[in-house]
Amino acid sequence: MCPAALALRTGQKDEWFASWFDSAHYHRLYAHRSDEEAARFIDTLVERVQLPAGAAVLDLGCGTGRHSKRLASGGFDVTGVDLSAESLRKARTNERANLRFVRQNMRLPFGRGHYDCVVNLFTSFGYFEDPADNLTVIRNVGESLKPGGTFVLDYLNVRHAEPRVTTHETSERDGVRYRITRWADANHIFKRIATDAPGKDSLEWTERVAKLTPEDFRFMFALCDLRIDLTCGDYGLASFDAATSPRLILIATKIAAGSEGLSARELPTDAADGFRRHAEIRGEHRLRHAQHDRRVHAQELQVPLLGRRAQ
């Protein structure tokens, strides 16, 4: 079904990531992402976080499972979750007793108090049109963690990335030329990918990532009982510098409700204003996008608590 027909069927605007991440062009363009790169980061992360042996880990937005595989090879009980059927098709070739993959929209709950650690890596966040959906995801993460559990979020450092955006470039993969254009507005960074292949119609997708700051994340985490313990700036987990760090990597702990969290009123105005305007803060946001997204079959909407650690 084409995106336009799908949008009519669901009664909602098609979301860019739903079609792009399932496209063969996406997997061709980003084929340079290596398992070795993912393994180095996971090894560094596990050494720093010190997860318990056999810990239950959720890889949220797992893609083709590069990071999930490495976590499972370390003896952890790993569930990878993603919306892209094509990415999961590739990931599932590596399933084993302590590694499984599930298709689900991350705006829907994925368990309560089940995981020792949740990771969301390689900017697999900030894609939604409604900013309240970002907070919904963070809430789901907080609810899925055991007390004292760890959340690791890896995002681009907007302050470093925006002035270094390459506005135009071309890349060729397997006889297909990709014309790439990047730009930004007040709230997002965009990347348009257009194809140019002999004898074929041009196709086009536009990626959109929210320009979220450390203050934005601090606000969302605090509302969801997540305490940020460490802020890093690269995949070696060096200290974060807003001007020079290429990444924004947050390592947080699930704390008791209200024990150290901050309310929206207690946070700086500039950090809270972007989210306070949205219905989620008033308790009125009801996952209106995800619940009616028929791209994911109803039986796939809830992550089953699989594996030896499930109760």
Same domain, 56 and 132: yes
Q: Report the percent of the chain where pLDDT is more than 70.
A: 78
Same domain, 143 and 282: yes
Final residue before a domain boundary, out of 188, 206, 224? 206
Domain annotation covers residue 293 = no
Domain annotation covers residue 1 = no
Same domain, 25 and 131: yes
Same domain, 89 and 40: yes
Task: Give backbone dihedrals phi and psi of 149, rounded to 5 degrees, phi first.
Answer: -70, 165
Range of the domain at 193: 163-206
Domain annotation covers residue 299 = no
Domain annotation covers residue 83 = yes
Residue 304: CB partners within 8 Å, gap ≥ 6? Answer: 102, 310
Instruction: Name which of 163, 162, 165, 160 is nearest 241 in CA terms.
Output: 160
Same domain, 179 and 279: no
Below-50 pLDDT ranges, the chain: 1-12, 261, 263-265, 267-272, 274, 276-311
Counting the structural domains of the chain, the total is: 2
Strands 188-196 and 247-254: unpaired
Same domain, 55 and 177: no
Tens-digit pLDDT profile for residues 266-305: 544 444 454 544 434 434 433 344 444 433 443 344 443 3
Q: What is the pLDDT of residue 296?
A: 40
Same domain, 79 and 175: no
Same domain, 100 and 133: yes
- Which CATH number belongs to the domain containing residue 140 in this structure? 3.40.50.150
Same domain, 167 and 22: no
Domain annotation covers residue 247 = yes
Final residue before a domain boundary, out of 171, 186, 206? 206
Domain annotation covers residue 252 = yes
Instruction: Name which of 148, 137, 102, 146 is nearest 305 in CA terms.
Output: 102
Domain annotation covers residue 24 = yes
C-alpha pair distances (Å), 40 with each of 27, 99, 232? 22, 19, 16
Domain annotation covers residue 3 = no
Average pLDDT, the chain: 83
Grouping H, G, I as helix, E, B as strand and the rest as coil, residue 172 is strand
Q: What is the pLDDT of residue 259?
A: 67
Same domain, 168 and 58: no
Q: What is the pLDDT of residue 1?
A: 37
Residue 299: CB partners within 8 Å, gap ≥ 6? Answer: none
| pTM summary value | 0.82
Same domain, 194 and 238: no
The encoded tokens of residue 65 equal 């499972």
Same domain, 217 and 262: yes
Final residue before a domain boundary, out of 206, 236, 265? 206
